C-alpha cells in the first residue's frame, strides 16, 4: 500500500482525546482505530499483537538474523489533539507543491508568508486540511511511517534485522500516553517515538512540564448591596493573570525560552478556575516560574484579607535529556543513519513533550524522530508525503545499521 493511502485511511478515524475524561483511553473511538491497527499488524506478519484493556497496541516484528544487535522499539500515538475538530476530515493532496498560496475553506489561506515552513516542501507532494478541521498528521503520519516500514520488511524477508518492538499509544495529547504502558510486553533496549517535526530533525530535549490549577473563591453579594462586601472572583482572576510576567506567554517565546499558558478559564462571581501549563527546558528556571504563582497568591490573599486563592501544582513530564545523555550511542546511530540516506541531521529541542519523556524516566530511553508534519493541532496543518517516504527509508537504515554498518538497502 502506498504510504499516502495508508495515511489517508488513518486520518479518516476520529480519535480526539479528552483531557477531562477519567476513562482509559479517554475516548472510545481511539479503540476503534486501535483494533484496525491490530488487524493490519497481523496481516503484515507481526507477532504477539494485542490491544490492552487501556487501548495500547503492541506487536513485534520477529528477528531473522539470530538476534544480532539491539532490540529497538518504535512508538507513535493514535489520538489527535482536542484543540481543533478531528471529525469528518477532508484532506487534499497537492502534487509537486510549487510554493504558491493554498486556498482553504472558511476563507482561510495557507500561505508561505504566514507559514514559512511551506518553503521547505516546495517540490514535495503534501497533504493539507480543507480548512475546517485539523489533519491528524500528529501522529498518524508517525504510525503510517512505522507501518510502511513493517510492510517493507514483510515483503522483503532478505532484509536482516533483530526483533523490532512496536507500540501505538492513546491519549498522548492529554499527557496520558504512557499511563498504562506495559514494559513486560514491550521489551526493547531503547526506543524512538516517531512524532512530528521535520524529517531530518532529531529530538532528545523537551520541556520540563507542570500543570498549575488556580481556584479563586470570591464573595458573592447581591449587587444592590455589594458595596465594600463583594469580591468578584472573576475580577480577581483577571488581576492574578495580569500579574504574571507578560513576556513569558507562549506567543512571545521561542527556542529554549520557557512560558506559562492559560489553557482554560471558567467562573462566576463566587468561584473561578484557571488552568495553566508551565514549561521550561531549564528545571531551575521552571521552579522560578512556579514561584511567581506562589508570590502572586500570597500577595492577593494578603490584599483581600482571606484565603481567596488556592493553587495546586502537578508534574506532567520532565526533560528526557537528563536520561539520554547517558546513552550517547542511540543519538549517534541516528545521526549516522540520517547521513546515510542523504539527510543533514539537526538536533533541536522540543517545545513540548512526547511519550518518550515519561518512558525515558521509566527506564526506556526514548528520543524522538520527525515525521514531516507541520503546524499541527489546527486547520493549517500539513504533512509532506515526500518526507514521510524518507522517514521509512530512515527507519530501515537505522535498523539495518544496527546489524551491519553502511550496507546499501535495496529500495
* Residue 181, pLDDT score: 97
4, 79, 125, 173: which is the annotated catalytic residue? Answer: 79
User: Catalytic site residue 172?
Assistant: yes
Known catalytic residue at 130: no
Q: What is the CA radius of gyration of the chain?
A: 23
> Would you state the cell numbers that stand for residue 318, as one nine-digit string?
520532565
Query: In the structure grid, which three cell numbers stand for residue 182, read together?
Result: 506495559
Q: Are 335 and 202 in contact (CB under 8 A)?
A: yes
Is 3-206+319-401 in CATH node 3.40.630.10? yes
Report the side by side order of strands in the sheet with 164-169. Answer: 47-51, 57-61, 164-169, 72-77, 190-194, 368-369, 201-203, 346-347
Strands of 162-308 (E only): list them: 164-169, 190-194, 201-203, 208-217, 259-267, 271-280
- Residue tagged 518553503 (cell numbers): 119
List of the chain residues with pLDDT < 50:
406-411
Annotated domain spans of the chain: 3-206+319-401, 208-316
The Cα–Cα gap between 121 and 95 comes to 11
Q: Are 315 and 242 in contact (CB under 8 A)?
A: no
pLDDT for residue 342: 96
Q: What is the pLDDT of residue 403?
A: 81
Catalytic residue, from 40, 138, 151, 172: name it. Answer: 172
Residue 247 CB neighbour total at 10 angstroms: 9
Structure confidence at residue 411 (pLDDT): 41
The pLDDT value recorded for residue 266 is 97
pLDDT digits (tens, 9 = 90+) for 177-219: 999 999 999 999 999 999 988 999 999 999 999 999 999 999 9
What is 208-316's CATH topology? Answer: Alpha-Beta Plaits (3.30.70)
Residue 77: the pLDDT is 97
Q: Assess contact for 27 and 79: CB atoms under 8 A.
A: yes
Q: Say how far residue 35 (Cα) sits from the centre of its chain.
A: 21
For residues 285, 346, 138, 150, the Cα torsion angle rounded to the nearest 10 degrees is: -130
What does residue 236 show for φ and ψ, rounded to 5 degrees?
Answer: -60, -40
Amino acid at each position: 500500500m502506498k504510504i499516502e493511502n495508508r495515511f489517508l485511511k488513518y486520518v479518516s478515524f476520529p480519535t480526539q482525546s479528552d483531557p477531562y475524561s477519567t476513562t482509559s483511553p479517554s475516548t472510545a473511538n481511539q479503540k476503534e482505530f486501535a483494533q484496525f491497527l491490530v488487524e493490519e499488524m497481523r496481516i503484515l506478519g507481526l507477532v504477539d499483537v494485542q490491544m490492552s484493556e487501556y487501548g495500547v497496541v503492541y506487536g513485534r516484528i520477529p528477528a531473522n538474523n539470530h538476534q544480532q544487535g539491539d532490540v529497538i522499539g518504535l512508538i507513535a500515538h493514535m489520538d489527535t489533539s482536542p484543540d481543533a475538530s478531528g471529525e469528518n476530515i477532508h484532506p487534499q493532496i497537492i502534487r509537486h507543491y510549487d510554493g504558491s498560496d493554498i486556498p482553504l475553506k472558511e476563507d482561510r489561506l495557507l500561505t508561505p508568508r504566514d507559514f514559512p515552513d511551506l518553503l521547505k516542501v516546495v517540490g514535495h507532494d503534501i497533504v493539507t486540511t480543507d480548512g475546517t478541521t485539523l489533519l491528524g498528521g500528529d501522529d498518524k503520519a508517525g504510525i503510517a511511517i512505522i507501518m510502511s516500514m513493517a510492510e517493507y520488511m514483510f515483503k522483503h524477508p532478505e532484509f536482516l534485522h533483530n526483533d523490532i518492538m512496536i507500540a501505538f499509544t492513546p491519549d498522548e495529547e492529554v499527557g496520558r500516553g504512557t499511563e498504562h504502558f506495559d514494559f513486560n510486553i514491550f521489551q526493547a533496549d531503547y526506543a524512538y517515538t516517531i512524532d512530528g517535526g521535520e524529517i531530518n530533525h532529531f529530538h532528545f530535549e523537551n520541556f520540563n512540564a507542570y500543570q498549575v490549577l488556580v481556584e479563586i473563591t470570591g464573595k458573592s453579594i447581591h449587587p444592590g448591596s455589594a458595596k465594600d462586601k463583594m469580591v468578584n472572583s472573576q475580577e480577581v482572576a483577571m488581576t492574578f493573570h495580569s500579574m504574571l510576567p507578560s513576556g513569558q506567554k507562549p506567543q512571545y517565546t521561542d527556542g529554549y525560552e520557557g512560558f506559562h499558558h492559560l489553557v482554560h478559564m471558567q467562573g462566576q462571581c463566587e468561584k473561578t478556575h484557571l488552568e495553566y501549563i508551565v514549561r521550561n527546558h531549564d528545571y531551575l528556571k521552571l521552579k522560578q516560574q512556579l514561584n511567581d504563582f506562589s508570590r502572586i497568591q500570597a500577595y492577593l490573599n494578603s490584599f483581600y484579607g482571606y484565603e481567596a486563592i488556592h493553587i495546586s501544582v502537578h508534574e506532567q513530564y520532565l526533560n528526557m535529556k537528563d536520561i539520554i545523555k547517558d546513552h550517547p550511542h542511540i543519538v549517534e546511530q541516528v545521526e549516522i543513519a540520517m547521513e546515510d540516506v542523504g539527510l543533514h541531521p539537526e538536533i533541536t529541542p522540543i517545545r513540548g513533550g512526547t511519550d518518550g519523556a515519561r518512558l525515558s524516566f521509566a527506564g526506556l530511553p526514548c528520543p524522538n524522530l520527525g515525521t514531516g508534519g507541520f503546524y499541527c493541532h489546527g486547520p493549517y496543518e500539513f504533512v509532506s508525503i515526500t518526507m514521510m517516504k524518507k522517514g521509512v527509508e530512515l527507519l530501515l537504515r537505522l535498523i539495518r545499521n544496527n546489524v551491519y554498518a553502511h550496507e546499501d538497502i535495496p529500495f
